[in-house]
Amino acid sequence: MSLTDIKSLNISELTELLTSRGHQRFRADQIYSWLHQKCVTSFSEMTNIPKKLLSDLESICYISVANIEKKLVSSYDNTIKYLFVFPDGEYVEAVVMDYRHGYSMCISTQVGCKMGCTFCATGKGGFTRNLTAGEMLSQIHTAQKDLGIRISNVVLMGMGEPLDNFQNVVRFIRLATDEKGLNLSARHITLSTCGLVPKIYELADLNIPITLSLSLHAPNDEIRSKTMPVNKKYPLAEVFKACRYYADTTGRRITYEYAMISGVNDSDDCARQLAQHIRGTLCHVNLIPVNPVEGTGYNPSKDKRLTSFVSVLSGYNINATVRRTLGSDINASCGQLRGKNLKNKGGV
Ligand code: SAH
Ligand code: SF4
């Protein structure tokens, strides 16, 4: 029988588990608090719980942990990058950013990714497995403990496609926003997707007020299908329709991510095509000079191109900002560090 990831259970599931084994209900609150507020990594740390109960739990459950394999601190800004390892030996990456309004953390939702975007280091490595909700929480728990801080913003923009791990990601969001847990505000959680259309509708219908960030990276199907294979299944017209539905249902503004790749998607004409699609909608465009990944042959657009692209968009009253890649000296673009670690160990 496989063990249950106890950190992935919500309070009613935990209560149900305990009472079904003859334990008292009030123990559920205590154990939940050890897991989600004190963030313990072993049952033996739960000092107010009877030993007998703990050994019973240990026979059917485990506590997920994200251990620090590597930690890099950027010398430009205070960005910190973690390479975490799970007990099964799989790695994921996460980044902590120090913003004026608090600490923001970018976490991973899968080991690898199936989507195969041509510019992405994670995509190049293929897919290994989904993360559990407990493993997503554990990345935050470990960083908070390591740095002695509270994370107030979370972005699901690390390794993996969150909507391809829908159930676990929604479970994570519900646990992370629980006031008896990390108590994050849903408004401070951003989910980034390459555009899995049916799942965008499903997410919208849950009506959780998180921010949806859509990885666009191209203004037409021709370019997008070349760099993002997912576009062949869900072309742009469907993606924009789903995004409009998301914005209308949740009242939340959509963020479009657009990695500027020199000579591929960064012309003024591309900006005009992009504007035609999104003008008049509740949105914001984030332009990011593409982070060069070995073997892709892609280069970031020059500053002059970026400025010109922004000014075309603002001509259509579209809000666009250029986001400098944080911590570029520490491979802060997700997937790059794991790739390096595997290479050093004789992997991909
Ligand atoms: N799978 C999700 C979330 C993880 S990727 C998604 O694609 O949205 C997080 C973000 O990093 C996405 O916007 C993705 O397109 C972007 N990204 C991936 N590789 C990049 C690179 N080399 N340079 C800049 N952005 C990149
Ligand atoms: Fe997957 Fe996102 Fe990378 Fe595309 S950009 S391969 S969807 S992680």
Element (H, E) at 314: helix 303-315
Distance between CA 51 and CA 49 in Å, rounded? Answer: 6
- Among all ligands shown, which has an atom nearest to the Cα of 158? 1
- Integer angstrom CA distances of residue 328 from 79, 315, 317: 9, 31, 31
Which tokens is 116 given?
Answer: 């195969």
User: Which is nearest to 312 in space by CA: 281, 262, 282, 276?
Assistant: 276
Residue 39 appears among annotated catalytic residues = no
Distance between CA 246 and CA 80 in Å, rounded? Answer: 32
Distance between CA 207 and CA 174 in Å, rounded? Answer: 12
What are 81-94's pLDDT values in tens digits?
Answer: 999 999 999 999 99
Which tokens is 162 given?
Answer: 């969150």
**Distance in Å, CA 283 to ligand 1 centroid:** 18
CB 326 within 8 A of CB 79: yes
Atom number of ligand 2 nearest to Cα 114: 1
Would you give the distance in Å from CA 291 to the centre of its chain?
18
Interstrand relation of 80-85 and 67-73 (parallel, antiparallel or unpaired) = antiparallel
Q: Which CATH architecture has domain 67-344?
A: Alpha-Beta Barrel (3.20)
Of 1.10.150.530, 2.60.40.1080, 1.10.10.10, 3.40.120.10, the CATH number of 4-62 is: 1.10.150.530
One digit per residue, pLDDT tens: the chain, 348 residues?
799 999 999 999 999 999 999 999 999 999 999 999 999 999 999 999 999 999 999 999 999 999 999 999 988 778 999 999 999 999 999 999 998 889 999 999 999 999 999 999 998 889 999 999 999 999 999 999 999 999 999 999 999 999 999 999 999 999 999 999 999 999 999 999 999 999 999 999 999 999 999 999 999 999 999 999 999 999 999 999 999 999 999 999 999 999 999 999 999 999 999 999 999 888 999 999 999 988 899 999 999 999 999 999 999 999 999 986 655 565 555 555 565 555 554 433
Q: What is the pLDDT of residue 329?
A: 60
Atom number of ligand 2 nearest to Cα 120: 3
Strand intervals (E) in 230-279: 254-260
Q: Is 333 in the pocket of ligand 1 (CB under 6 A)?
A: yes
**Distance in Å, CA 115 to ligand 2 centroid:** 6
Mutate to test the pocket of ligand 2, among 157, 194, 348 (most ligand atoms within 8 A of CB): 194
93, 135, 161, 257: which one is catalytic?
93
Would you give the distance in Å from CA 230 to the centre of its chain?
18
Tell me if residue 25 falls in helix, strand or coil: coil
User: Which is nearest to 212 in space by CA: 156, 152, 151, 278?
Assistant: 156
Q: Is 194 in the pocket of ligand 1 (CB under 6 A)?
A: yes
- Among all ligands shown, which has an atom nearest to the Cα of 231? 2
Tell me if residue 99 falls in helix, strand or coil: strand
**Distance in Å, CA 226 to ligand 1 centroid:** 15
What is the crossing angle of helices 133-147 and 166-176, to 10°? 40
Tell me if residue 119 falls in helix, strand or coil: coil
Locate CATH 1.10.150.530 in the chain.
Answer: 4-62
Q: Is 122 in the pocket of ligand 2 (CB under 6 A)?
A: yes
101: exposed, middle or buried (Cβ count in 10 Å: 0-12, 13-18, 19+): exposed
- Among all ligands shown, which has an atom nearest to the Cα of 119? 1
- Integer angstrom CA distances of residue 222 from 55, 228, 258, 264, 348: 58, 10, 16, 11, 30
Residue 16 appears among annotated catalytic residues = no
Q: What is the pLDDT of residue 341?
A: 58
**Distance in Å, CA 120 to ligand 1 centroid:** 6
Which tokens is 130 given?
Answer: 């989904």
- Mean confidence (pLDDT) of the chain: 93
> Which residue is closest in CA terms to ligand 1's atom 1?
161
Q: Is 123 in the pocket of ligand 2 (CB under 6 A)?
A: yes
Give φ, ψ of 285 to 5 degrees.
Answer: -110, 130
CB 260 within 8 A of CB 300: yes
Tell me if the pTM is above 0.85.
Answer: yes
Locate CATH 3.20.20.70 in the chain.
Answer: 67-344
**Distance in Å, CA 177 to ligand 1 centroid:** 24
- Integer angstrom CA distances of residue 247 from 184, 210, 226, 231, 260: 21, 11, 27, 21, 25
Cβ contacts of residue 217 below 8 Å, gap of 6+?
117, 119, 224, 227, 228, 257, 258, 259, 261, 265
- Identity of the amino acid at 311: S
